[in-house]
Amino acid sequence: MNKTWLIIQREFLNRVQKKSFLVATILIPLIFPVIMAVLIYVAKVQKENARKPVVHLVDEGNYLNINDTSRFIFKKFNGSIEDAKRAFSESDDFGLLHVPQINVFNPAGVTLYTKVNPGPGEVSDLESKIENKIKDIKMLRFKIDQKILDSLKTSVDIRSVTLSESGQEKASDTKVLFAIGMVGGIMIYIFIFVYGAQIMQGVIEEKMSKIVEVIVSSVRPFQLMTGKIIGLASVGILQFLIWIVLISTLSSLVLGYFGMSAPQMEMMNQANEQMANVPEYDPQLMSIMETVNQIPFTYIIFNFLFFFLGGYLLYGALFAAVGSAVDSPAEAQQFMFPITIPMLISYFALFTFILDDPHGPISVWLSIIPFTSPIAMMGRIGFGVPAWQLALSMVSLIGGFILTTWIAGRIYRVGILMHGTKVNYKVLAKWFMMKG
Amino acid sequence: MNALQVERVTKRYTNHTALDQVSLSVPEKSIFGLLGPNGAGKTTLIRIINQIISLDEGTITIFNERLHENHISVIGYLPEERGLYKKLKVGEQLLYLAQLKGLNRKEAQTRIKAWLQKFDILDWTGKKVEDLSKGMAQKVQFISTVMHEPKLIILDEPFSGFDPVNANLIRDEILELKEKGSTIIFSTHRMETVEELCDHIVLINKSKKILEGPKKEIKNNYKSFTFAVDHIGSFQLNGGNYEMIHQNKVEENTYRSLVRMKSPGNPNDLLKQLIEITEVHSFIEKVPSMNEIFIQLVKGGSDE
């Protein structure tokens, strides 16, 4: 045990003392706010300077008023469509919308001429403009007063509240929870790959430099493997904690610079506590703030660390086994496939099912099966996971990494002493079965 | 007392037996040669002694104790496939390896300094191994093997890759360690090393021990009672206990003959007889070299 501790220390110091660790640990949190700042700045500048694209309108039945939409400026053209086409092709404008005389109950023949392919958003913007207009015309034909029509238009923003069994109300904003799930899932995915690859690289280095036989004459191969895995895990956790501190400090600085300063947020929080439906505030922003305030960050960070560690240990052992079996990083590629598959499945499932439907059966099962649970559970955690599912997932993850560590240990102890052997899955199975 | 006692050790793999009922004893404070062709099972045996792999049958005792995890600190092992952490500094590297062998930090630091001083390489302490020449790295490697003052030192092909200067340095160091009371096991193909250094040898071929004993005794046993004689003028030897193997003309009228006794006898009798028939310039008994014995036994084995 004492020797495993020595190995953990050695591995930890080896990585932490490297320049690359220092660079990655400091630069990455700097890069994120910088990218954020640049994006916000660019978006701001673009919004200020943006000119909406111009659409020529040939409206033969005079259906549409030429009020601009959120996307377009309209320029009415009086004349035939042929003349309009000619004028349009000579201009630099975005498009030409031709609305012929139409039957409002079966509108047909509305055409948009453009020089480049229009995006679906742009087309639907125009469609809804025309649809709304046609609706109004129909309403008028049904003798409905314009005033009634106007009063029919309503805007609703649903405030989503989860009601716990104890009757406690919690505001939730699915966008925030979605973001938490996405960021958490992606971070676990990246962490496992980056640190898993480092374990593998470390094992291959020891094998290539041939120090490994010297070491295993002093410690058991299993101690060397677990020492390496745990040593790197502690580097990962250290790096993660530094990032959290740096990113949150820097991000609030950046946000503050662009007008969402922390004191203002505090003010909103206070207002929030006093009364939820203060009319002056934008209800959407209110709901985001309300949700952010109610997110149990300690709970999420604890679960993140647990599933990061669990997933890392589970995959780390497999990465170590692969490293022990090969003589060079290039050879490792052939064994990476089965390791990558469950990771990729959970990564894609994160975006296709889990964030969309966090309580659906696929999401639940993916978050319980140990090979996919670290990423899948991160996707679900913000939306609230029943305690029994969380417990089952944790227990099976612990069981899972004990299993993979055991399997990997059996391959590792043989693999590290084999040089120049051609290794395939059959050979790995043979090593696994081999007695000490 | 024997430093190491191996009794009827067997190790089987799926497709072959790496060691088959091998027994040997290594006397304390000796230099012991573990010989055998490639694939004979030497490395397997060494790995078993170092508890890197386990044995299937048999027992191993070290200084009269059954092999136990604590013996790691008693053994110093220089594997044939050896190396160091390239990115680690010499001092840190030696400290780490010494601590893994069970030395405490302070003790290890004192010894590292003493060894580096002894090899006159103290100013390398802060250098990374990747910046050292091969010869320098070999010295560091050797220090890491003996730093914890092991009573049993196992060296697998210790001189392979060493340049002659370092090889000599290491050889002197090995002899000094023996003087200080360590027992040294050599595994090697290089028979000149065996000839020069070993007191005892064992020969393993095809997973089985085929020869064991003190080097002198073995050489005597394999004596063929053959003598090389330089003499003037040709002669014939007929009958009796003596047999002429061949006779070469070296220079004008100077010949060299190879004469063998059919049954062991006194060389003086042969010499007396030769003096009567020729003018003897030199008379040397042909003692077989370890190399010859090795080749003879291993080849004989493969003819079975």
Residue-wise pLDDT for A155-200, tens only, equals 777 766 666 655 566 556 677 778 888 888 888 898 898 899 999 9
Q: How far is CA A207 from CA A227, A422, B31, in A?
A: 16, 15, 30
State the nearest Cα–Cα gap between B303 and chain A, in angstroms.
29
Say whether B100 and A216 touch across the interface (CB within 8 A): no
Q: Does the pLDDT value for residue A33 go beyond 80?
A: no
Burial A156-194 (b: 16+ CB within 10 A, else e): eeeeeeeeeeeeeeebbbbebbbebbbebbbbbbebbbe
Note the pLDDT of residue A104. 75
Choose the final residue of a domain: B220, B241, B272: B220
Domain range A52-148, CATH class: alpha beta
Q: What is the mean predicted confidence (pLDDT) over A128-137?
A: 81
Residue A198 CA to residue A333 CA, distance in Å, equals 14
Choose the final residue of a domain: B199, B220, B241: B220
Note the pLDDT of residue A252. 75
- Are the beta carbons of A313 and A401 closer than 8 angstroms? yes
Say whether A210 and B83 touch across the interface (CB within 8 A): yes
Q: What is the mean predicted confidence (pLDDT) over A386-396?
A: 92
Residues B228 and B189 in one domain: no
Structure-token pair, residue A263: 């004191």
Residue B299 lies inside a defined structural domain of this protein? no
Say whether B81 and A213 touch across the interface (CB within 8 A): yes
Q: Does the pLDDT value for residue B36 go beyond 80?
A: yes
Say whether B14 and A434 touch across the interface (CB within 8 A): yes
Give the pLDDT band of residue B267 (cuts 50, 70, 90). Answer: confident
Comparing CA positions, the residue from B44, B77, B80 lying closest to residue B160 is B80
Structure-token pair, residue B95: 């400290």
B139 touches chain A (CB under 8 A): no
Sole residue written with tokens 């044939």 = B80
CATH code of the domain covering residue B119: 3.40.50.300
Note the pLDDT of residue A360. 87
Q: Which residues of B touch A435 (CB under 8 A)?
A: 54, 56
Q: What percent of chain B has pLDDT over 70?
A: 98
Say whether B85 and A3 touch across the interface (CB within 8 A): no
Sole residue written with tokens 């990585």 = A15
Say whether B77 and A214 touch across the interface (CB within 8 A): yes
Query: Is the whole model's pTM more than 0.80, yes or no?
Result: no
Query: What is the number of residues in chain A?
Result: 436
CA A388 to chain centre: 26
Note the pLDDT of residue A261. 45
Residue A21 CA to residue A111 CA, distance in Å, equals 58
B142 touches chain A (CB under 8 A): no
Residues B236 and B166 in one domain: no
- What stretch of H or E contains A46? helix A19-49
Residue-wise pLDDT for B135-144, tens only, equals 888 889 999 9
Q: What is the mean predicted confidence (pLDDT) over B188-193?
A: 81
Residue B98 CA to residue B48 CA, distance in Å, equals 21
Sole residue written with tokens 């093997």 = B145
CA of B54: which chain A residue's CA is closest?
A: A436
State the nearest Cα–Cα gap between B52 and chain A, in angstroms.
6
User: Identity (one letter) of the amino acid at A71?
Assistant: R
Q: Which residues of A touch B51 (CB under 8 A)?
A: 217
B99 touches chain A (CB under 8 A): yes
Q: What is the mean predicted confidence (pLDDT) over B159-163?
A: 78
Among the residue ranges A289-298, A362-371, B95-104, the one predicted with the least confidence is A289-298
Residues B228 and B192 in one domain: no
Give the pLDDT band of residue B13 (cuts 50, 70, 90). Answer: confident
Residue B74 lies inside a defined structural domain of this protein? yes
Residues B202 and B127 in one domain: yes
CA of A220: which chain B residue's CA is closest?
A: B52
Q: Which residues of A touch B85 (CB under 8 A)?
A: 206, 209, 211
Residue B13 lies inside a defined structural domain of this protein? yes
Residues B18 and B167 in one domain: yes
Say whether B79 and A214 touch across the interface (CB within 8 A): yes
Say whether A211 and B72 touch across the interface (CB within 8 A): no
Nearest by CB to residue B96, choosing from A10, A205, A434, is A10
- Are the beta carbons of A214 and B83 closer than 8 angstroms? yes
Say whether A211 and B83 touch across the interface (CB within 8 A): yes
Residue B278 lies inside a defined structural domain of this protein? yes
Residue-wise pLDDT for B219-254, tens only, equals 888 888 888 899 888 888 776 788 888 888 888 888
Note the pLDDT of residue B262. 82
State the nearest Cα–Cα gap between A3 and chain B, in angstroms.
6
Residues B35 and B91 in one domain: yes
- Are the beta carbons of A108 and A100 closer than 8 angstroms? no
Taking the alpha carbons at both ends of chain B, their separation in whole angstroms is 36
Residues B100 and B151 in one domain: yes
Residues B193 and B250 in one domain: no
Residues B134 and B230 in one domain: no
Instruction: Supply the mean pLDDT for chain A.
Output: 81
Residue-wise pLDDT for B109-121, tens only, equals 999 999 999 888 8
Nearest by CB to residue A209, choosing from B54, B78, B86, is B86
Residue B99 CA to residue B105 CA, distance in Å, equals 7
State the nearest Cα–Cα gap between B114 and chain A, in angstroms.
22
Q: Choosing among B51, B53, B90, which should be mutated to test the A contact, i.e. which has the most A CBs within 10 A?
A: B53
Classified as helix, coil or strand, B188 is: strand
Nearest by CB to residue A219, choosing from B54, B56, B100, is B100
Q: What percent of chain A has pLDDT over 90?
A: 20
Say whether A217 and B75 touch across the interface (CB within 8 A): yes
B87 touches chain A (CB under 8 A): yes
Structure-token pair, residue A359: 């309580």
Note the pLDDT of residue B95. 93
CA of B14: which chain A residue's CA is closest?
A: A434
Give the pLDDT band of residue B106 (cuts 50, 70, 90). Answer: very high
Nearest by CB to residue B85, choosing from A209, A216, A217, is A209
Residue A432 CA to residue A426 CA, distance in Å, equals 10
Query: Residue B230 class from Cβ within 10 Å (0-12 exposed, 13-18 middle, 19+ buried)?
Result: middle
| A–B CB contacts, 8 A cutoff, strictly below | 61
Q: Does the pLDDT value for residue A148 go beyond 60?
A: yes
Choose the final residue of a domain: B162, B193, B220: B220
Say whether A218 and B13 touch across the interface (CB within 8 A): no
Which residues of A lie inside 8 Å of B (Cβ-Cβ)?
A: 3, 6-7, 10, 14, 205-206, 209-211, 213-219, 221, 417, 419, 430, 433-436
ipTM for the complex?
Answer: 0.80
Taking the alpha carbons at both ends of chain A, their separation in whole angstroms is 20
Q: Which residues of B touch A6 (CB under 8 A)?
A: 96, 99-100
- Are the beta carbons of B264 and B285 closer than 8 angstroms? no
User: What string of DSSP letters covers A226-258?
Assistant: HHHHHHHHHHHHHHHHHHHHHHHHHHHHHHHHT
Nearest by CB to residue A6, choosing from B56, B82, B100, is B100
Instruction: Supply the mean pLDDT for chain B.
Output: 87
Give the pLDDT band of residue A1 (cuts 50, 70, 90). Answer: low
CA A405 to chain centre: 29
Q: Choosing among A204, A209, A213, A223, which should be mutated to test the B contact, i.e. which has the most B CBs within 10 A?
A: A213
Q: Does the pLDDT value for residue A310 go beyond 70?
A: yes
Say whether A217 and B85 touch across the interface (CB within 8 A): no
Beta-strand pair B254-261/B226-232? antiparallel
Q: Choosing among B100, B101, B143, B144, which should be mutated to test the A contact, i.e. which has the most A CBs within 10 A?
A: B100
CATH 3.40.190.10-classified regions of chain A: 52-148
CA of A216: which chain B residue's CA is closest?
A: B52
Residue-wise pLDDT for A61-115, tens only, equals 777 776 666 677 888 888 888 888 888 888 888 888 888 887 777 788 888 888 8
State the nearest Cα–Cα gap between A305 and chain B, in angstroms.
30
Residue A267 CA to residue B299 CA, distance in Å, equals 93
Helix residue ranges, H only, A295-420: 297-325, 329-349, 361-366, 373-381, 387-415
State the nearest Cα–Cα gap between A214 and chain B, in angstroms.
7
Q: Does the pLDDT value for residue A143 go beyond 60?
A: yes
Say whether B88 and A6 touch across the interface (CB within 8 A): no
User: Identity (one letter) of the amino acid at A238?
Assistant: L
Note the pLDDT of residue A228. 92
Residue A136 CA to residue A143 CA, distance in Å, equals 11
Residue-wise pLDDT for A339-356, tens only, equals 889 999 999 988 888 888
Number of structural domains chain B divides into = 2
Among the residue ranges A136-145, A190-199, A259-268, B274-283, the one predicted with the least confidence is A259-268
Residue B119 CA to residue B132 CA, distance in Å, equals 14
Note the pLDDT of residue B304. 40
Q: Which residues of B touch A231 (CB under 8 A)?
A: none
Residue-wise pLDDT for A244-257, tens only, equals 888 778 777 766 76
Comparing CA positions, the residue from A294, A302, A32 lying closest to residue A177 is A294
State the nearest Cα–Cα gap between B9 and chain A, in angstroms.
15
State the nearest Cα–Cα gap between A193 and chain B, in angstroms.
23
Residue B300 lies inside a defined structural domain of this protein? no
Structure-token pair, residue B285: 């008994």
State the nearest Cα–Cα gap between B18 and chain A, in angstroms.
13
B118 touches chain A (CB under 8 A): no
Residue A234 CA to residue A246 CA, distance in Å, equals 18
Residues B156 and B240 in one domain: no
Among the residue ranges A111-120, A161-170, A370-379, the one predicted with the least confidence is A161-170
Residues B81 and B198 in one domain: yes
Note the pLDDT of residue A111. 85
CA of A18: which chain B residue's CA is closest?
A: B87
- Are the beta carbons of B154 and B9 closer than 8 angstroms? no
CB-CB neighbours of A129 under 10 Å: 18
Q: Where are the beta strands (DSSP E) in A147-304?
A: 160-163, 169-172
Structure-token pair, residue A436: 């000490």
Among the residue ranges A36-50, B29-43, B50-64, the one predicted with the least confidence is A36-50
B68 touches chain A (CB under 8 A): no
Residues B174 and B281 in one domain: no
Structural domain for B142, as ranges: 2-220
CA of B51: which chain A residue's CA is closest?
A: A217
Note the pLDDT of residue A258. 62
Of residues A277 and A433, more confidence is placed in A433
Q: What percent of chain A has pLDDT over 70?
A: 82
